[in-house]
Chain A
Amino acid sequence: MSTIILRTACRLLVPLSLLFAAFIYFKGHQTPGGGFVGGLVVAVALIVHRMAFGRASLRHLIHVRERSLIAVGLLLAAGTAIVPLFLGIPFFTSTYGYLPLPGTDEKFEWATVMVFDLGVVLVVAGVVVGMINALTEELE
């Protein structure tokens, strides 16, 4: 499947897709988007990259195994849930606040659940890329 058309398009599309994934992850709490979609977009971008350049190149791009992505994602999600316990408030309690963006009047609204959402991104991306990788290897 690795044609020159795909490879050329890939050089442009993959970074854009990853950027878009970051965008929908960060804006997800306020506008359509979120961790699950973000993870899927990341996964699609990585799979396209793998199709164009092969497995070694994907390994070179992300450096970690997919199962580590899943593990870190689950740790982040569970951690977000557990940390409040140590502050004496119930499991899974969340909070939010505002971060002034320097140079503008805008404020970025953060929420602790964004860490949880990041965990979702990592798990989803890890699961999808990992499964497709494993199946592709099986075929190759």
Chain B
Amino acid sequence: MPGPFSILLAVLAPMLCGAGGLLLPRRLIGARVGLALLGPVVALLLLGTAIAQHGLDGVILSAPWMPEVNLNIAFHLDRLGLFFALLVAGIGVLIVTYARAYFGPNPDDLYRFYPSLGLFMTAMLGLVLSDNFILLLLFWEMTSISSFLLIGWERDDPKAVKNALQAFIVTGTGGLCLLAGLILLGVITGAWAFSELSPQLITPDGLTIAAFVLIFVGAAGKSAQWPLHFWLPGAMAAPTPVSAYLHSATMVKAGVYLIGRLWPLLAVAIPLWPALIVPFGTVTMVLGAYIALRKSDLKQIFAYTTVSQLGLLMTMYGLSALEFKNQPNLIWDISQILNHALYKAPLFLLAGAIAHVAHTRELPELKGLYHQGGQARIMAGLMILAGYALAAGPLTVSFSAKEFFFYQIWHGYEATHHPGFFILVAAGVATGMFNVAIFVRLTRVLLGSSEVKPAQPPHPPGHDVHGQHDYRAPLTAGLLEQAHAQDDGQMDTHGHGGHAHGHGGHGHHDHHEAGFWPTMLWVPAALVIAVQYIGGIIPGAWEALFGRIEAGRFYFSHFPMTWDAHLGVPLGMSVAAMVLGLLLGFAPVFTRTIRDIHDGIFPAFYTASTQGGGWAFRLVQTGNARTYLAVIFVSMIVLIIYALLAGPKAVIAGWHDIIEDDHFRRAAPEYFIGAVVCFAAILLPIVKDRASRILVLGTVGFGVAGLFYLYQAPDLALTQISIEIVSLFLFLLVLGLLPQATFGRAMRFGPRLVISVLAGGLIGWLALTSSSGPRPPMPYLKADTQEPFAHLGEFFLRNSYEGRDGERGGGGGNVVNVILVDFRGYDTLGEIVVLGLAALGVWTLLRRRTLHQSTRALRLNLDEHHARQHAHHRPARSHVPERSDGA
């Protein structure tokens, strides 16, 4: 396959394999897992082939897609992109395996899960490999959509749906900002791909800075930067495989990836770069680590440490702009990112695994898990090892990574001597301290003295809900749902037990499996943690495994490991963080759980927007068709008159040509048909009966069809006749559904007459002038005579059958059809899509209308108690009057 298409196939493979799984019979679990594995494996193989062929030095493989709108299938095979792609596909393999163990041998869950996961993998692979801006945006939006499906996995749980919506709206809004930012950047620089962009093209003027700010907002939304970070802990409502995949290794890194992609291009050129990124990153970093310490649910703790780590990575890229003694202040950034994936993914995987065997993820209830033996002992041990990496203890890659970050801060200070760096130093130490404290507390609980679990385990203050959960039957019953229900525990205010067993897709927790698959709950985690320690203890191993992906490795002979840490301030910061963290871990402060105050942002926004929307709806939707038409026509009249007064005068000059035009002098049957049409049109408002009006309207339509025929446009005549027949049917049917009475206050006759005459007169006059006035010359030249075309029609006529003017021909004698399906094929494609959507809309509306009385549409309501109290007597807010005999 030529160039980009093997990469395109690698990108699409997970999605295709996932979709293929839908065709398999539900019972074939083995085949389904195999097919789902095939996706990332094919991607890995194809990417490996590409690396072998092109190396790591940023080959661009490109094919035109829609060059007119700067959209090309262009992939950039450089270190950063390939690293992310390999990470996505590699961890993807582990997640597919883990998901099989997590969901158990239940056909329904896997049937639904793997296609969504495949879609997400494809989106992520495409995102990190795209070179073209627009292509990147397509995949960016795809990650938002597919993560919505995955986060809202428990689709019967209103809280999961709410959290999915929250994640979607935050990342989607960020995506819109990114769209604006990248398009602005493309328009300013003329470069529509990362590889075309260079620092020389960037001038730090207002527009470029606006573009950069918009891009940063998009990246910050996706990568959960304060104050938009709240969606990430909320997204923990997803099943653990999703959390481990999306929220540790892949999706939340998309924003970091984007900033990492842009820093060599923009960091030095735009002075705002460090000033904007570093503060937000730092606040996120400290705040995330602090809240993590004050959470009790394992997934919540790790979610907030992820937020913290994302803040750290952003800060790292923010500091990259500060060069010092001609040495870049950013090296080994990929190792920094990889390091996070290497301890965070195992932590999430193990959190899910522990919930599987211990039936809870609340930290206080896991006391002494290590002493329970068997699987629990392995998992607890592995979690302590991974937690040690979270704390950035010596002998892990994480330690070196944190050292590097501290070094970077100090380096930045030396470069600028800005006093703000002392805040940064304190923030770095504080973050390290919180992480160490989290590890200490985690270890203390897991290794604590084993005790018999009380029937009603003690709850930390603020956790009044979970006492309702049933712990009577360990190893049976769908206890995992309870673990799900405890997601985001402090907000969980509804009893969950009843629903957990209610719906069909959840028979899978009813028994534990034995044999191979349960070990898959912890084996993927163990494999990943091993890399942390191997890399931390043997620097050469890390160098051999991952050295090649670092462009900056030439500045140092190898990744500075434990034994040659930077003496001086960075090491001092590390030591301070560890000592303080140990003290904090054992100190009886910060032990109560708190809720993140930012959790209120989205509900407030949601309420404001729905209420504002309702207010606007009541303002605009009066229910009176005449008012709507009047608004539309008045706007149109104003716009046309404005254009005539302010626009080029050429339009007005056409009047003379109309009088001179041949057609007007020619006595012809069209006068007769024209008179009929006019007569029918005047009759229209006079006739009162609706059915008669439709017939009169039909007369107008058929008359126009006759005119088309006389003017030698049989195509138009044929279409017009068919349309008239169909709309006759439609009108007659719709009439039967319309109420007889009119609603709302009717407008008076005078204004209506003025609006009608103005609108009709202007449109008629525009139609006349636009078809006979002089036109601006066409930019195209005729190939044989080199003269410009007089109008577009001439161009189409010459090129309809075979191309004569440098254009390829459409191969059709019927120029109208060639225009529709070939020259203007895009338009037609768009039109039929709109047509299909309109039909779907009609169906949905009619269905809702029919269902209205019997069932009420599922409404998402943030205040569930409120919903429960009022759900059965909420008044219908419909302004469409219901016929009592309807349906």
Contact = CB atoms under 8 A, between A and B. Distances in A.
Grouping DSSP codes into helix (H, G, I), strand (E, B) and loop, the A interface class, with mixed when no group exceeds half, is: helix
Contacts of A134: 842-843, 846
Which one of A36, A91, A128 has the highest number of Cβ atoms from chain B below 10 Å of its Cβ? Answer: A36
B730 A131 contact: yes
Contacts of B818: 29, 113
A92 B839 contact: no
B826 interface: yes
A6 interface: no
B103 to A, nearest CB: 30
Interface residues of A, number: 57
A127 B836 contact: yes
Given A90-B64, A119-B832, A32 B842 contact: no
Contacts of B734: 135
B65 A85 contact: yes
Contacts of B736: 139
Contact of B829 (A28, A70, A78, A139): A78
B817 interface: yes
A119 B5 CA distance: 26
Contact of A32 (B66, B718, B726): B718
B9 to A, nearest CB: 10
B201 interface: no
Nearest to A86: B5
B472 to A, nearest CB: 49
Nearest to B723: A40
A138 interface: yes
B825 A113 contact: yes
Contacts of A131: 730, 839, 842
B367 to A, nearest CB: 55
A78 B828 CA distance: 11
Interface residues of B, number: 52
B821 A31 contact: no
Contact of B722 (A37, A66, A138): A37
B710 to A, nearest CB: 15
Interface in A87-140: 88-96, 109, 111, 113, 116-117, 119-120, 123-124, 126-128, 130-132, 134-139
B764 interface: no
B60 interface: no
Contact of B63 (A88, A96, A119): A88
A130 B845 CA distance: 13
B822 to A, nearest CB: 5
Contacts, number: 159
Nearest to A35: B821
A81 interface: yes
A120 B821 contact: yes
A47 B737 CA distance: 19
B843 A130 contact: yes
B608 interface: no
Interface stretch (B511-519, B643-651, B696-704, B807-815): B807-815
A126 B833 CA distance: 12
A31 B842 contact: no
Contact of A90 (B66, B719, B816, B821): B66
Residue among B73, B714, B843 with most chain A CB within 10 A: B843
B2 interface: yes
A131 B734 CA distance: 10
Interface string A55-79: 0000000000011001101100110
Contact of A92 (B811, B825, B832): B825
Contacts of A10: none
B839 A40 contact: no
A30 B817 CA distance: 8
Residue among B730, B816, B835 facing the most chain A CB atoms (10 A cut-off): B835
Contacts of A34: 715, 814, 816-817, 820-821
Contact of A132 (B729, B817, B840): B729
A40 B726 contact: yes
28 contacts: A28-B814, A29-B812, A30-B813, A31-B814, A32-B714, A33-B817, A34-B814, A70-B839, A70-B840, A77-B828, A81-B829, A94-B810, A94-B822, A111-B812, A113-B810, A116-B829, A117-B817, A120-B821, A120-B828, A123-B832, A123-B835, A124-B832, A127-B835, A127-B839, A128-B726, A131-B842, A132-B730, A135-B842
Given A28-B814, A92-B826, A123-B832, 11 more contacts: A32-B714, A71-B836, A88-B2, A90-B65, A92-B825, A117-B817, A120-B828, A120-B832, A132-B730, A134-B842, A135-B734
Chain A to chain B: the 9 pairs with minimum beta-carbon distance, closest first: A96-B811, A40-B722, A29-B812, A135-B733, A30-B813, A34-B817, A32-B714, A127-B839, A113-B821
